[in-house]
Structure 1
Amino acid sequence: MAVRHTVSAYPAAPSWISLNANELDTALEFYGPLMGWSFRPGPERWGPYMRAEVDGIPVAGIGTGGHRQLNLPVSWTTYFGIEDIEASVRDIHDRGGTVAVGPLTVSTGRILIAADPTGTPFGVWEGRPGIGDRPLGPGLPVTVELRTPDPFAAAMFYAEVFRWDDRDPERFEVRWEHNRVLLRVDGLPTASLRSSRTPSHRWDVYFTVGDVEKCSAHAERLGGTVLEGPLVSPYGIVARLRDPEGGEFLVTAAQESGRPED
Protein backbone atom coordinates (compact mmCIF):
# COMPACT_ATOMS: atom_id res chain seq x y z
CA MET A 1 0.00 0.00 0.00
CA ALA A 2 1.58 3.23 -1.12
CA VAL A 3 1.03 5.37 1.97
CA ARG A 4 2.74 8.75 2.02
CA HIS A 5 3.29 11.46 4.61
CA THR A 6 0.89 13.63 2.62
CA VAL A 7 -2.31 12.62 0.89
CA SER A 8 -1.00 11.89 -2.59
CA ALA A 9 -1.66 9.48 -5.43
CA TYR A 10 0.92 6.89 -6.41
CA PRO A 11 0.41 6.22 -10.14
CA ALA A 12 -0.48 2.61 -11.03
CA ALA A 13 -0.50 1.41 -7.41
CA PRO A 14 -2.91 1.33 -4.46
CA SER A 15 -2.72 4.83 -3.03
CA TRP A 16 -5.60 5.23 -0.60
CA ILE A 17 -8.20 3.17 1.22
CA SER A 18 -11.53 4.37 2.50
CA LEU A 19 -14.16 2.72 4.67
CA ASN A 20 -17.78 3.19 3.74
CA ALA A 21 -19.35 3.06 7.21
CA ASN A 22 -22.91 3.12 8.40
CA GLU A 23 -22.40 5.13 11.61
CA LEU A 24 -19.24 7.22 11.80
CA ASP A 25 -18.92 7.15 15.58
CA THR A 26 -19.19 3.35 15.64
CA ALA A 27 -16.36 3.03 13.14
CA LEU A 28 -14.11 5.53 14.93
CA GLU A 29 -14.69 3.88 18.31
CA PHE A 30 -13.65 0.53 16.85
CA TYR A 31 -10.72 1.36 14.56
CA GLY A 32 -9.23 4.12 16.71
CA PRO A 33 -8.22 1.99 19.70
CA LEU A 34 -7.68 -1.16 17.60
CA MET A 35 -5.22 0.41 15.14
CA GLY A 36 -3.89 3.25 17.27
CA TRP A 37 -5.40 5.80 14.89
CA SER A 38 -6.14 9.43 15.60
CA PHE A 39 -8.60 11.31 13.41
CA ARG A 40 -9.02 14.68 11.81
CA PRO A 41 -11.90 15.97 9.65
CA GLY A 42 -11.63 15.46 5.89
CA PRO A 43 -13.76 16.68 2.97
CA GLU A 44 -17.50 16.26 3.56
CA ARG A 45 -18.93 16.34 0.06
CA TRP A 46 -21.19 13.33 0.75
CA GLY A 47 -21.39 13.54 4.51
CA PRO A 48 -19.10 13.26 7.56
CA TYR A 49 -15.63 12.03 6.65
CA MET A 50 -12.56 11.56 8.81
CA ARG A 51 -8.94 10.88 7.95
CA ALA A 52 -7.16 8.33 10.11
CA GLU A 53 -3.53 9.05 10.99
CA VAL A 54 -0.62 7.29 12.66
CA ASP A 55 2.01 9.69 14.03
CA GLY A 56 0.76 12.34 11.61
CA ILE A 57 0.81 10.01 8.59
CA PRO A 58 -2.57 9.83 6.78
CA VAL A 59 -3.40 6.15 6.36
CA ALA A 60 -7.13 5.82 5.60
CA GLY A 61 -10.46 7.55 5.31
CA ILE A 62 -13.73 6.74 7.05
CA GLY A 63 -17.02 8.21 5.88
CA THR A 64 -20.74 7.54 5.59
CA GLY A 65 -21.52 9.11 2.21
CA GLY A 66 -21.51 5.89 0.21
CA HIS A 67 -23.91 4.20 2.60
CA ARG A 68 -26.33 7.09 2.75
CA GLN A 69 -26.14 8.42 -0.79
CA LEU A 70 -25.34 5.32 -2.86
CA ASN A 71 -26.72 2.53 -0.66
CA LEU A 72 -23.33 0.78 -0.62
CA PRO A 73 -22.51 -1.94 1.91
CA VAL A 74 -20.09 -1.33 4.75
CA SER A 75 -16.73 -2.13 3.18
CA TRP A 76 -13.22 -0.92 2.46
CA THR A 77 -12.50 0.50 -1.00
CA THR A 78 -9.01 0.56 -2.52
CA TYR A 79 -8.11 3.52 -4.75
CA PHE A 80 -5.41 3.10 -7.39
CA GLY A 81 -3.49 6.21 -8.45
CA ILE A 82 -3.49 7.33 -12.07
CA GLU A 83 -2.20 10.26 -14.11
CA ASP A 84 -5.26 10.71 -16.36
CA ILE A 85 -8.63 9.70 -14.97
CA GLU A 86 -10.47 10.35 -18.24
CA ALA A 87 -8.20 7.87 -19.98
CA SER A 88 -8.97 5.40 -17.18
CA VAL A 89 -12.69 5.69 -17.92
CA ARG A 90 -12.07 4.68 -21.53
CA ASP A 91 -9.68 1.88 -20.53
CA ILE A 92 -12.12 0.46 -17.98
CA HIS A 93 -14.98 0.41 -20.48
CA ASP A 94 -12.83 -0.97 -23.30
CA ARG A 95 -11.75 -3.90 -21.13
CA GLY A 96 -15.17 -4.93 -19.90
CA GLY A 97 -15.39 -2.98 -16.67
CA THR A 98 -17.97 -0.40 -15.61
CA VAL A 99 -17.82 3.03 -14.00
CA ALA A 100 -20.44 3.45 -11.29
CA VAL A 101 -19.61 6.90 -9.91
CA GLY A 102 -17.61 9.80 -11.35
CA PRO A 103 -15.20 11.07 -12.27
CA LEU A 104 -15.84 13.58 -9.49
CA THR A 105 -13.74 16.51 -8.34
CA VAL A 106 -12.70 16.39 -4.68
CA SER A 107 -10.30 18.43 -2.58
CA THR A 108 -7.36 16.13 -3.41
CA GLY A 109 -8.01 15.68 -7.13
CA ARG A 110 -10.51 13.58 -9.07
CA ILE A 111 -11.92 10.16 -8.22
CA LEU A 112 -14.23 7.50 -9.57
CA ILE A 113 -15.67 4.21 -8.41
CA ALA A 114 -15.59 1.37 -10.92
CA ALA A 115 -15.97 -2.40 -11.13
CA ASP A 116 -13.85 -4.90 -13.00
CA PRO A 117 -15.46 -7.49 -15.35
CA THR A 118 -16.26 -9.78 -12.40
CA GLY A 119 -18.06 -6.98 -10.53
CA THR A 120 -15.30 -6.31 -8.00
CA PRO A 121 -15.38 -2.61 -7.02
CA PHE A 122 -12.28 -0.41 -6.91
CA GLY A 123 -11.49 3.28 -6.94
CA VAL A 124 -9.34 5.40 -9.24
CA TRP A 125 -7.71 8.61 -8.05
CA GLU A 126 -6.02 11.30 -10.08
CA GLY A 127 -4.22 13.52 -7.61
CA ARG A 128 -0.87 14.92 -6.63
CA PRO A 129 1.71 12.23 -7.41
CA GLY A 130 3.49 10.79 -4.40
CA ILE A 131 6.91 9.21 -4.76
CA GLY A 132 9.22 8.21 -1.93
CA ASP A 133 9.82 5.78 0.90
CA ARG A 134 6.80 3.95 2.27
CA PRO A 135 6.47 4.00 6.05
CA LEU A 136 5.77 0.61 7.59
CA GLY A 137 4.59 -0.17 11.09
CA PRO A 138 1.61 -0.92 13.32
CA GLY A 139 -1.66 0.57 12.17
CA LEU A 140 -0.57 1.14 8.57
CA PRO A 141 -1.93 -0.66 5.51
CA VAL A 142 0.70 -2.89 3.97
CA THR A 143 -0.93 -4.53 0.94
CA VAL A 144 -4.21 -5.34 -0.81
CA GLU A 145 -5.30 -8.65 -2.28
CA LEU A 146 -8.01 -9.91 -4.62
CA ARG A 147 -9.10 -13.55 -4.44
CA THR A 148 -10.38 -14.72 -7.82
CA PRO A 149 -10.75 -17.99 -9.77
CA ASP A 150 -8.74 -16.54 -12.65
CA PRO A 151 -5.95 -14.28 -11.37
CA PHE A 152 -4.39 -14.05 -14.83
CA ALA A 153 -7.54 -12.60 -16.42
CA ALA A 154 -8.00 -10.21 -13.50
CA ALA A 155 -4.35 -9.18 -13.66
CA MET A 156 -4.64 -8.47 -17.39
CA PHE A 157 -7.54 -6.10 -16.71
CA TYR A 158 -5.77 -4.13 -14.00
CA ALA A 159 -2.41 -4.20 -15.80
CA GLU A 160 -3.97 -2.71 -18.91
CA VAL A 161 -6.03 -0.09 -17.06
CA PHE A 162 -3.07 1.04 -14.93
CA ARG A 163 -0.40 0.23 -17.57
CA TRP A 164 1.79 -1.81 -15.26
CA ASP A 165 3.88 -3.10 -18.19
CA ASP A 166 4.72 0.45 -19.28
CA ARG A 167 6.16 1.49 -15.93
CA ASP A 168 9.80 1.74 -14.94
CA PRO A 169 10.89 -1.93 -14.61
CA GLU A 170 13.33 -0.97 -11.88
CA ARG A 171 10.42 0.18 -9.75
CA PHE A 172 7.43 -1.89 -10.94
CA GLU A 173 7.52 -5.68 -11.15
CA VAL A 174 4.65 -8.05 -11.89
CA ARG A 175 5.36 -11.72 -11.34
CA TRP A 176 3.67 -15.05 -10.52
CA GLU A 177 4.69 -16.53 -7.20
CA HIS A 178 3.09 -18.44 -4.35
CA ASN A 179 -0.14 -19.05 -6.24
CA ARG A 180 -0.78 -15.38 -7.03
CA VAL A 181 0.06 -12.56 -9.41
CA LEU A 182 2.08 -10.12 -7.35
CA LEU A 183 2.74 -6.44 -8.00
CA ARG A 184 5.89 -5.15 -6.34
CA VAL A 185 6.63 -1.45 -6.21
CA ASP A 186 10.09 -0.39 -5.11
CA GLY A 187 10.74 -3.98 -4.03
CA LEU A 188 7.73 -4.26 -1.72
CA PRO A 189 4.56 -6.32 -2.31
CA THR A 190 1.83 -3.79 -2.99
CA ALA A 191 -1.05 -5.74 -4.52
CA SER A 192 -1.73 -9.37 -5.31
CA LEU A 193 -4.34 -11.34 -7.22
CA ARG A 194 -4.67 -14.75 -5.64
CA SER A 195 -6.03 -17.92 -7.17
CA SER A 196 -9.07 -19.01 -5.19
CA ARG A 197 -12.15 -21.14 -5.76
CA THR A 198 -14.09 -18.77 -3.52
CA PRO A 199 -13.76 -15.26 -4.99
CA SER A 200 -13.84 -12.36 -2.56
CA HIS A 201 -15.40 -9.85 -5.00
CA ARG A 202 -13.50 -7.13 -3.16
CA TRP A 203 -9.95 -5.98 -2.64
CA ASP A 204 -8.98 -7.15 0.85
CA VAL A 205 -6.92 -4.69 2.86
CA TYR A 206 -4.12 -5.88 5.16
CA PHE A 207 -3.00 -3.77 8.11
CA THR A 208 0.23 -4.34 10.01
CA VAL A 209 -0.07 -4.91 13.76
CA GLY A 210 2.46 -5.80 16.40
CA ASP A 211 0.70 -8.94 17.62
CA VAL A 212 -2.08 -10.56 15.57
CA GLU A 213 -3.44 -12.66 18.43
CA LYS A 214 -3.69 -9.70 20.79
CA CYS A 215 -5.21 -7.55 18.06
CA SER A 216 -7.82 -10.22 17.33
CA ALA A 217 -8.80 -10.43 20.99
CA HIS A 218 -8.95 -6.64 21.19
CA ALA A 219 -11.22 -6.54 18.13
CA GLU A 220 -13.66 -8.90 19.87
CA ARG A 221 -13.69 -6.75 23.00
CA LEU A 222 -14.53 -3.75 20.81
CA GLY A 223 -17.50 -5.54 19.26
CA GLY A 224 -15.81 -7.02 16.20
CA THR A 225 -15.57 -10.62 15.05
CA VAL A 226 -12.65 -12.91 14.25
CA LEU A 227 -13.63 -14.67 11.01
CA GLU A 228 -10.43 -16.61 10.49
CA GLY A 229 -7.15 -17.11 12.31
CA PRO A 230 -4.77 -16.20 13.66
CA LEU A 231 -3.02 -18.44 11.14
CA VAL A 232 0.68 -19.16 10.86
CA SER A 233 1.90 -18.73 7.29
CA PRO A 234 5.34 -18.86 5.65
CA TYR A 235 5.34 -15.05 5.69
CA GLY A 236 3.94 -14.22 9.10
CA ILE A 237 0.74 -14.50 11.12
CA VAL A 238 -2.58 -13.23 9.75
CA ALA A 239 -6.21 -13.00 10.84
CA ARG A 240 -9.37 -11.96 9.04
CA LEU A 241 -11.56 -9.65 11.14
CA ARG A 242 -14.94 -7.99 10.79
CA ASP A 243 -15.85 -4.67 12.36
CA PRO A 244 -19.14 -4.18 14.28
CA GLU A 245 -20.95 -3.04 11.12
CA GLY A 246 -19.74 -5.86 8.86
CA GLY A 247 -16.66 -4.38 7.18
CA GLU A 248 -13.98 -7.06 6.66
CA PHE A 249 -10.21 -6.55 6.76
CA LEU A 250 -7.06 -8.48 7.66
CA VAL A 251 -4.25 -7.88 10.09
CA THR A 252 -0.77 -9.25 9.70
CA ALA A 253 2.53 -9.39 11.49
CA ALA A 254 4.30 -10.45 8.29
CA GLN A 255 7.84 -9.42 7.53
CA GLU A 256 8.28 -6.36 5.36
CA SER A 257 9.09 -8.50 2.34
CA GLY A 258 6.39 -11.08 3.03
CA ARG A 259 3.06 -11.79 1.42
CA PRO A 260 -0.33 -12.81 2.79
CA GLU A 261 -0.95 -16.41 3.69
CA ASP A 262 -1.36 -19.21 1.17
Structure 2
Amino acid sequence: MDRTTTVPDSKASSSAAVLGAPCWVSLMARELEPALDFYGAVFGWTFRTGRLGEQFRVALDDGEPVAGIGALAPALQVAVAWTPYFAVEDADATSARIRERSATVAVGPVAFQTGRGALAADRDGAVFGIWQGKLVDDWESWRDREPAWLELRTRNAFEAAIFYGEVLDWAADRPGCCDVQYEAEEVVLRHGGHIVARLSSGALEAAPDPTIRPHWEVHFVTTDVPAKTATARAHGGMVIAQGTASNGPWATIRDPDGATFTIDTRAVAQQKA
Protein backbone atom coordinates (compact mmCIF):
# COMPACT_ATOMS: atom_id res chain seq x y z
CA MET A 1 0.00 0.00 0.00
CA ASP A 2 1.43 3.38 -1.03
CA ARG A 3 1.30 5.67 2.00
CA THR A 4 3.75 8.25 0.59
CA THR A 5 2.92 11.75 -0.56
CA THR A 6 5.19 14.52 -1.75
CA VAL A 7 4.67 17.81 0.05
CA PRO A 8 7.05 20.77 0.04
CA ASP A 9 8.76 21.37 3.36
CA SER A 10 7.80 24.56 5.16
CA LYS A 11 8.79 26.58 8.20
CA ALA A 12 12.26 25.01 8.24
CA SER A 13 14.41 26.50 10.97
CA SER A 14 18.11 26.29 11.68
CA SER A 15 19.78 24.10 14.27
CA ALA A 16 21.66 27.22 15.43
CA ALA A 17 18.40 28.52 16.96
CA VAL A 18 17.83 25.51 19.24
CA LEU A 19 21.29 24.74 20.54
CA GLY A 20 21.72 21.32 22.11
CA ALA A 21 18.02 20.44 22.14
CA PRO A 22 16.61 17.23 20.70
CA CYS A 23 15.50 18.22 17.21
CA TRP A 24 14.30 14.94 15.68
CA VAL A 25 14.09 11.16 16.02
CA SER A 26 14.81 8.87 13.12
CA LEU A 27 14.75 5.16 12.41
CA MET A 28 17.64 3.71 10.44
CA ALA A 29 16.14 0.63 8.84
CA ARG A 30 17.52 -1.99 6.47
CA GLU A 31 14.67 -1.68 3.99
CA LEU A 32 12.32 1.25 3.64
CA GLU A 33 9.02 -0.28 2.52
CA PRO A 34 8.72 -2.97 5.25
CA ALA A 35 9.44 -0.31 7.88
CA LEU A 36 6.77 2.00 6.45
CA ASP A 37 4.27 -0.88 6.40
CA PHE A 38 4.93 -1.78 10.05
CA TYR A 39 4.83 1.73 11.52
CA GLY A 40 1.96 2.77 9.28
CA ALA A 41 -0.06 -0.16 10.63
CA VAL A 42 0.88 0.38 14.30
CA PHE A 43 0.49 4.15 14.50
CA GLY A 44 -1.63 4.98 11.46
CA TRP A 45 1.17 7.16 10.15
CA THR A 46 1.32 8.30 6.56
CA PHE A 47 4.55 9.32 4.91
CA ARG A 48 5.97 11.96 2.60
CA THR A 49 9.28 12.40 0.92
CA GLY A 50 11.73 14.72 2.64
CA ARG A 51 14.87 16.53 1.65
CA LEU A 52 17.26 13.68 2.48
CA GLY A 53 16.68 11.59 -0.65
CA GLU A 54 14.52 8.80 -2.00
CA GLN A 55 15.42 6.40 0.81
CA PHE A 56 14.05 8.71 3.51
CA ARG A 57 10.48 9.49 4.56
CA VAL A 58 8.90 11.84 7.09
CA ALA A 59 6.20 10.11 9.15
CA LEU A 60 3.00 12.13 9.60
CA ASP A 61 0.28 11.80 12.22
CA ASP A 62 -2.86 13.63 11.07
CA GLY A 63 -0.66 15.55 8.67
CA GLU A 64 1.85 16.65 11.33
CA PRO A 65 5.48 15.44 11.31
CA VAL A 66 6.43 12.88 13.95
CA ALA A 67 9.68 11.19 12.97
CA GLY A 68 11.91 10.12 10.11
CA ILE A 69 12.31 6.64 8.64
CA GLY A 70 15.11 5.85 6.22
CA ALA A 71 16.90 2.87 4.72
CA LEU A 72 20.17 4.30 5.97
CA ALA A 73 21.59 1.51 8.12
CA PRO A 74 23.27 -0.43 5.26
CA ALA A 75 24.71 2.70 3.69
CA LEU A 76 26.15 3.99 6.96
CA GLN A 77 27.05 0.54 8.31
CA VAL A 78 25.28 1.13 11.62
CA ALA A 79 22.80 -0.87 13.67
CA VAL A 80 19.09 -0.72 12.96
CA ALA A 81 17.76 1.59 15.67
CA TRP A 82 15.66 4.59 16.62
CA THR A 83 18.09 7.44 17.19
CA PRO A 84 17.62 10.93 18.68
CA TYR A 85 19.33 13.89 17.03
CA PHE A 86 20.49 17.04 18.81
CA ALA A 87 20.80 20.43 17.17
CA VAL A 88 24.30 21.92 17.00
CA GLU A 89 25.88 25.01 15.46
CA ASP A 90 28.97 23.25 14.13
CA ALA A 91 29.05 19.50 13.57
CA ASP A 92 32.84 19.44 13.27
CA ALA A 93 33.41 21.31 16.52
CA THR A 94 30.85 19.16 18.34
CA SER A 95 32.43 15.96 16.98
CA ALA A 96 35.80 17.14 18.23
CA ARG A 97 34.36 17.75 21.72
CA ILE A 98 32.85 14.26 21.71
CA ARG A 99 36.22 12.68 20.90
CA GLU A 100 38.05 14.87 23.40
CA ARG A 101 35.85 13.42 26.14
CA SER A 102 36.73 9.80 25.30
CA ALA A 103 33.48 9.13 23.44
CA THR A 104 33.09 7.95 19.84
CA VAL A 105 32.03 9.52 16.56
CA ALA A 106 31.07 6.47 14.50
CA VAL A 107 29.90 8.13 11.29
CA GLY A 108 30.48 11.61 9.90
CA PRO A 109 30.00 14.42 9.92
CA VAL A 110 28.29 13.61 6.61
CA ALA A 111 27.01 16.30 4.23
CA PHE A 112 23.37 16.17 3.12
CA GLN A 113 21.37 18.54 0.97
CA THR A 114 20.23 20.66 3.91
CA GLY A 115 22.95 20.21 6.52
CA ARG A 116 25.52 17.95 8.10
CA GLY A 117 25.02 15.12 10.54
CA ALA A 118 27.02 12.62 12.57
CA LEU A 119 26.34 9.53 14.64
CA ALA A 120 28.12 9.15 17.97
CA ALA A 121 28.14 7.10 21.14
CA ASP A 122 28.71 8.55 24.59
CA ARG A 123 31.25 7.11 27.02
CA ASP A 124 28.75 4.49 28.22
CA GLY A 125 27.82 3.41 24.69
CA ALA A 126 24.47 5.19 24.24
CA VAL A 127 24.07 6.15 20.56
CA PHE A 128 22.88 9.60 19.50
CA GLY A 129 23.11 11.89 16.52
CA ILE A 130 24.00 15.54 15.96
CA TRP A 131 22.61 17.78 13.23
CA GLN A 132 23.83 21.10 11.84
CA GLY A 133 21.62 22.96 9.38
CA LYS A 134 17.95 23.21 8.55
CA LEU A 135 15.70 21.17 10.78
CA VAL A 136 13.56 18.56 9.10
CA ASP A 137 10.37 20.44 9.93
CA ASP A 138 9.12 23.28 12.12
CA TRP A 139 10.92 22.24 15.29
CA GLU A 140 8.95 24.33 17.79
CA SER A 141 5.68 22.80 16.58
CA TRP A 142 7.18 19.30 16.87
CA ARG A 143 8.43 20.04 20.39
CA ASP A 144 5.14 21.55 21.54
CA ARG A 145 2.98 18.70 20.19
CA GLU A 146 5.20 16.09 21.90
CA PRO A 147 4.64 13.17 19.52
CA ALA A 148 7.84 11.64 20.91
CA TRP A 149 10.03 12.15 23.95
CA LEU A 150 13.46 10.91 25.00
CA GLU A 151 14.88 9.18 28.02
CA LEU A 152 18.55 8.37 28.49
CA ARG A 153 18.92 5.23 30.55
CA THR A 154 22.51 5.43 31.68
CA ARG A 155 24.92 4.29 34.35
CA ASN A 156 25.07 7.65 36.16
CA ALA A 157 22.69 10.43 35.09
CA PHE A 158 24.70 13.19 36.76
CA GLU A 159 27.93 12.20 34.99
CA ALA A 160 26.07 11.82 31.70
CA ALA A 161 24.57 15.30 32.10
CA ILE A 162 28.06 16.74 32.50
CA PHE A 163 29.22 14.97 29.33
CA TYR A 164 26.25 16.09 27.22
CA GLY A 165 26.32 19.55 28.75
CA GLU A 166 29.94 20.04 27.69
CA VAL A 167 29.37 18.55 24.24
CA LEU A 168 26.03 20.18 23.41
CA ASP A 169 26.32 23.45 25.38
CA TRP A 170 23.55 22.62 27.81
CA ALA A 171 23.11 25.19 30.58
CA ALA A 172 25.33 27.68 28.74
CA ASP A 173 24.67 31.38 29.09
CA ARG A 174 23.54 31.78 25.48
CA PRO A 175 20.14 32.33 23.83
CA GLY A 176 18.56 29.08 22.67
CA CYS A 177 20.42 26.77 25.05
CA CYS A 178 18.77 24.13 27.22
CA ASP A 179 18.31 24.28 30.99
CA VAL A 180 19.30 21.32 33.17
CA GLN A 181 17.88 20.49 36.59
CA TYR A 182 18.17 17.52 38.95
CA GLU A 183 14.65 16.45 40.01
CA ALA A 184 13.47 13.33 41.84
CA GLU A 185 16.65 11.38 41.07
CA GLU A 186 16.49 12.28 37.37
CA VAL A 187 18.22 14.94 35.30
CA VAL A 188 15.57 16.93 33.44
CA LEU A 189 16.37 18.83 30.24
CA ARG A 190 14.19 21.81 29.30
CA HIS A 191 14.07 24.11 26.32
CA GLY A 192 11.87 27.19 26.42
CA GLY A 193 10.18 25.85 29.55
CA HIS A 194 9.29 22.53 27.91
CA ILE A 195 10.72 19.26 29.18
CA VAL A 196 12.44 17.70 26.16
CA ALA A 197 14.36 14.77 27.74
CA ARG A 198 15.06 12.95 30.98
CA LEU A 199 18.26 11.20 32.08
CA SER A 200 17.94 8.28 34.52
CA SER A 201 20.60 6.27 36.38
CA GLY A 202 20.82 2.52 36.85
CA ALA A 203 21.71 1.05 33.46
CA LEU A 204 24.35 -1.71 33.40
CA GLU A 205 27.08 -1.52 30.75
CA ALA A 206 27.61 -5.28 30.52
CA ALA A 207 23.97 -6.39 30.78
CA PRO A 208 23.02 -9.12 28.28
CA ASP A 209 19.64 -7.46 27.80
CA PRO A 210 20.08 -4.43 25.48
CA THR A 211 17.15 -2.65 27.14
CA ILE A 212 19.16 -2.56 30.39
CA ARG A 213 22.42 -1.33 28.86
CA PRO A 214 22.93 2.45 28.49
CA HIS A 215 20.84 3.75 25.59
CA TRP A 216 18.62 6.59 24.45
CA GLU A 217 15.04 5.35 24.55
CA VAL A 218 12.54 6.89 22.14
CA HIS A 219 8.97 7.03 23.50
CA PHE A 220 5.94 7.63 21.31
CA VAL A 221 2.89 9.03 23.03
CA THR A 222 -0.43 7.32 22.31
CA THR A 223 -3.91 7.15 23.80
CA ASP A 224 -4.31 3.37 23.42
CA VAL A 225 -1.25 1.35 24.37
CA PRO A 226 -2.98 -2.08 24.43
CA ALA A 227 -4.41 -1.67 20.92
CA LYS A 228 -1.10 -0.57 19.43
CA THR A 229 0.72 -3.34 21.25
CA ALA A 230 -1.65 -5.90 19.75
CA THR A 231 -1.24 -4.39 16.28
CA ALA A 232 2.54 -4.47 16.60
CA ARG A 233 2.41 -8.17 17.48
CA ALA A 234 0.09 -8.88 14.56
CA HIS A 235 2.56 -7.26 12.16
CA GLY A 236 5.66 -9.07 13.32
CA GLY A 237 6.74 -6.98 16.28
CA MET A 238 7.73 -8.39 19.68
CA VAL A 239 6.82 -6.97 23.08
CA ILE A 240 10.01 -7.17 25.16
CA ALA A 241 8.78 -5.33 28.25
CA GLN A 242 5.51 -3.88 29.49
CA GLY A 243 3.89 -2.59 32.63
CA THR A 244 1.72 0.08 34.16
CA ALA A 245 2.92 3.44 35.45
CA SER A 246 1.00 6.15 37.29
CA ASN A 247 -0.19 7.57 33.98
CA GLY A 248 -1.23 4.24 32.48
CA PRO A 249 0.17 1.24 30.58
CA TRP A 250 3.40 1.22 28.61
CA ALA A 251 5.17 -1.27 26.37
CA THR A 252 8.61 -1.56 24.84
CA ILE A 253 8.46 -3.15 21.40
CA ARG A 254 11.04 -4.57 19.01
CA ASP A 255 10.03 -4.08 15.38
CA PRO A 256 10.56 -6.88 12.79
CA ASP A 257 13.90 -5.29 11.82
CA GLY A 258 15.22 -5.24 15.40
CA ALA A 259 14.76 -1.58 16.38
CA THR A 260 13.15 -0.94 19.77
CA PHE A 261 10.83 1.85 20.89
CA THR A 262 8.43 2.45 23.77
CA ILE A 263 4.80 3.51 23.64
CA ASP A 264 3.08 5.14 26.58
CA THR A 265 0.65 7.88 27.51
CA ARG A 266 3.17 10.02 29.35
CA ALA A 267 3.86 13.48 27.99
CA VAL A 268 7.10 14.79 29.49
CA ALA A 269 6.18 18.44 29.12
CA GLN A 270 2.99 18.26 31.15
CA GLN A 271 4.93 20.44 33.55
CA LYS A 272 5.84 23.67 31.82
CA ALA A 273 7.90 26.26 33.62
Normalised TM-score (structure 1): 0.85
Separation in 1 of the partners of 2:92 and 2:213? 28
Shift of 1:56: 3.1
Q: Equivalent of 1:207, from 203, 220, 224?
A: 220
1:88 aligns with 2:94: yes
Residue 164 of structure 2: aligned partner: 158
Does the C-alpha gap of structure 1 residues 174 and 73 become closer, same or farther in structure 2, counting only changes over 3 Å? same
Answer whether contact 2:29 2:71 (CA < 8 A) is retained: yes
Q: Following superposition of structure 1 onto structure 2, how do residues 183-222 of structure 1 map, counting pairs within 5 Å? A: 183-198=189-204, 199-222=212-235
Separation in 2 of the partners of 1:152 and 1:30? 36
Separation in 2 of the partners of 1:11 and 1:171? 5
Residue 250 of structure 1: aligned partner: 262
Q: State the Cα deviation string for residues 90-120 of structure 1 (Å, max 9, x = none).
A: 2112222221211121122111111111222
1:55 aligns with 2:67: no
Residue 240 of structure 1: aligned partner: 252
Answer whether contact 1:206 1:252 (CA < 8 A) is retained: yes
Residue 33 of structure 1: aligned partner: 41
SS at match of 2:233: helix
SS at match of 1:159: helix
Does the C-alpha gap of structure 1 residues 94 and 39 become closer, same or farther in structure 2, counting only changes over 3 Å? same
Does the C-alpha gap of structure 1 residues 27 and 131 become closer, same or farther in structure 2, counting only changes over 3 Å? closer
Unpaired runs of 5+ in structure 2? Answer: 1-8, 205-211
Shift of 1:239: 1.4
Separation in 1 of the partners of 2:227 and 2:175? 39
Answer whether contact 1:97 1:116 (CA < 8 A) is retained: yes
SS at match of 1:132: helix
Separation in 1 of the partners of 2:57 and 2:37? 12
Separation in 2 of the partners of 1:131 and 1:161? 21
SS at match of 1:83: coil
1:102 aligns with 2:114: no
Answer whether contact 1:5 1:56 (CA < 8 A) is retained: no
Answer whether contact 1:5 1:57 (CA < 8 A) is retained: no
Answer whether contact 2:155 2:214 (CA < 8 A) is retained: no
SS at match of 1:166: coil
Q: State the Cα deviation string for residues 30-54 of structure 1 (Å, max 9, x = none).
A: 1012122111223556x72222122
Q: Equivalent of 1:136, from 142, 145, 150?
A: 145
Residue 74 of structure 1: aligned partner: 80
Does the C-alpha gap of structure 1 residues 220 and 100 become closer, same or farther in structure 2, counting only changes over 3 Å? same
SS at match of 1:254: coil
Q: Which moved more, 1:112-121 or 1:150-159?
A: 112-121
Aligned residue pairs total: 250
User: Amino acid of the residue matched to residue 46 of structure 2?
Assistant: S
SS at match of 1:107: coil
Percent identical among aligned pairs is 38
Q: Which moved more, 1:171-180 or 1:155-164?
A: 171-180
Does the C-alpha gap of structure 1 residues 215 and 158 become closer, same or farther in structure 2, counting only changes over 3 Å? same
Does the C-alpha gap of structure 1 residues 53 and 70 become closer, same or farther in structure 2, counting only changes over 3 Å? same
Residue 129 of structure 2: aligned partner: 123
Separation in 2 of the partners of 1:250 and 1:69? 26
User: Amino acid of the residue matched to residue 231 of structure 2?
Assistant: H
